[in-house]
A = this chain, B = another copy of it.
């Protein structure tokens, strides 16, 4: 079977391989502590489920308009606009079957083959995959560890900009690091985008997963909205990962182009789920508040227990449900060089399953610290405690027999 060459340029999420490894071990009877995937073991709030059921009963089972039903586009414009200080109308909104579809569609509408796109590394691996697939040149920018978390390496970022740079992908409240821009960092980034006339994908998948205070969108800074597309998703805030609903939000002209792709790719997003999404945005906020509360309790337990393991250090992030954990010391103490070897050893010997820096982009020259990534969205506190006790015991006792 002769495949088209473009398929060679397509990447993937290697985190799914870890998921498969863990599942295979589980089938053999091993106890697994799943910290590897950003899925949620929290059920969607009941009011949203009930709204979906009502919509089905009301016969909302036929096609919806390609950019989404008017009432949902209106609700998204109001809610997302209000949270970001943007004055949006439904013409700024194209409903999507998830958050992810906005990544490839943004690349398609703005990036010519051969043009450069700046993207975060470590970062969500689909950015690089879609840039390469559509013939662009992915140019990574990275982060350095500070006393309190992670900050963008601006010197490196600036050096990477060329006359051929067309777009920048920005994922504040970041996966995998839980990084959050300071006001100054976001401002500096915005000024850079304006100066170099870059189009911006603002991946705001975790904009509402903030434990103290509220989020800020780079699209609300002067001169930014007109050059940006926001990736919005219902997945995390409302524990709706498996529902597949999100939106591309931006200037009317960009949003219309994105909807043109939807006409060709998927016709429309599910009809009755769009009605459930209206309830999500306009109904009781008890559900999302409870989700944040559960996640915060987990975060506190995981961070405290991890920081109590010798040679392991993690900042306590104020956002996302990810932890980017420095295990340089622990690996050194254990005499392990390779973070993948560390991951596999822990998985097989303790059942604690996680991804590493490797699953979030190609390591860059000069990286000396070793990181693993935990997601605590899919595991309860009692299992967290049990797993991390085993992890501590194994790491601290390694080679001591």
| Cα of A2 to Cα of B253 in the assembled complex, Å | 10
- Output the nearest chain B residue to A115 by Cβ-Cβ distance: B4
Whether B264 and A11, one on each chain, are in contact in the complex, defined by CB atoms closer than 8 angstroms, is yes
Whether A266 and B10, one on each chain, are in contact in the complex, defined by CB atoms closer than 8 angstroms, is no
| Cα of A109 to Cα of B264 in the assembled complex, Å | 16
| Cα of A267 to Cα of B56 in the assembled complex, Å | 24
A269 proximity list for chain B (CB < 8 A): 244
- Output the nearest chain B residue to A253 by Cβ-Cβ distance: B1
A112 proximity list for chain B (CB < 8 A): 4-6
Binds B, one of A40-48, A185-193, A337-345: A40-48
A241 proximity list for chain B (CB < 8 A): 61-63
Q: Does A184 contact B (CB under 8 A)?
A: no
A80 proximity list for chain B (CB < 8 A): none
- Output the nearest chain B residue to A129 by Cβ-Cβ distance: B264
A104 proximity list for chain B (CB < 8 A): 264-265
Binds B, one of A85-93, A255-263, A303-311: A255-263
Binds B, one of A95-103, A348-356, A391-399: A95-103
Residues of chain A from 227 to 266 with CB closer than 8 A to chain B in the complex: 239-244, 251, 253-254, 257, 260-261, 263-266
Whether B16 and A44, one on each chain, are in contact in the complex, defined by CB atoms closer than 8 angstroms, is no
A101 proximity list for chain B (CB < 8 A): 265-266
Whether B56 and A126, one on each chain, are in contact in the complex, defined by CB atoms closer than 8 angstroms, is no
Q: Does A31 contact B (CB under 8 A)?
A: no
Hey, what's the 0/1 contact readout for A52-93 against B, CB within 8 Å counting as 1?
Answer: 110011011111101000000000000000000000000000
Whether B242 and A270, one on each chain, are in contact in the complex, defined by CB atoms closer than 8 angstroms, is yes
Q: Does A282 contact B (CB under 8 A)?
A: no
A3 proximity list for chain B (CB < 8 A): 109-110, 257
- Output the nearest chain B residue to A44 by Cβ-Cβ distance: B61
- Output the nearest chain B residue to A101 by Cβ-Cβ distance: B266
| Cα of A4 to Cα of B111 in the assembled complex, Å | 6
Whether A243 and B270, one on each chain, are in contact in the complex, defined by CB atoms closer than 8 angstroms, is yes
Residues of chain A from 108 to 164 with CB closer than 8 A to chain B in the complex: 108-112, 126, 129-130, 133-134
| Cα of A13 to Cα of B262 in the assembled complex, Å | 11
Q: Does A273 contact B (CB under 8 A)?
A: yes
The one of B44, B57, B254, B273 that contacts A1, using a Cβ cutoff of 8 Å: B254
A130 proximity list for chain B (CB < 8 A): 264
Given contacts A6-B108, A61-B239, A61-B241, 6 further A-B contacts (CB under 8 A): A5-B112, A7-B108, A7-B109, A53-B56, A242-B272, A244-B266
13 sample A-B contacts, Cβ–Cβ < 8 Å, listed by A number: A1-B251, A7-B257, A11-B264, A12-B263, A16-B66, A53-B53, A60-B242, A61-B242, A100-B265, A100-B266, A242-B268, A243-B270, A244-B267
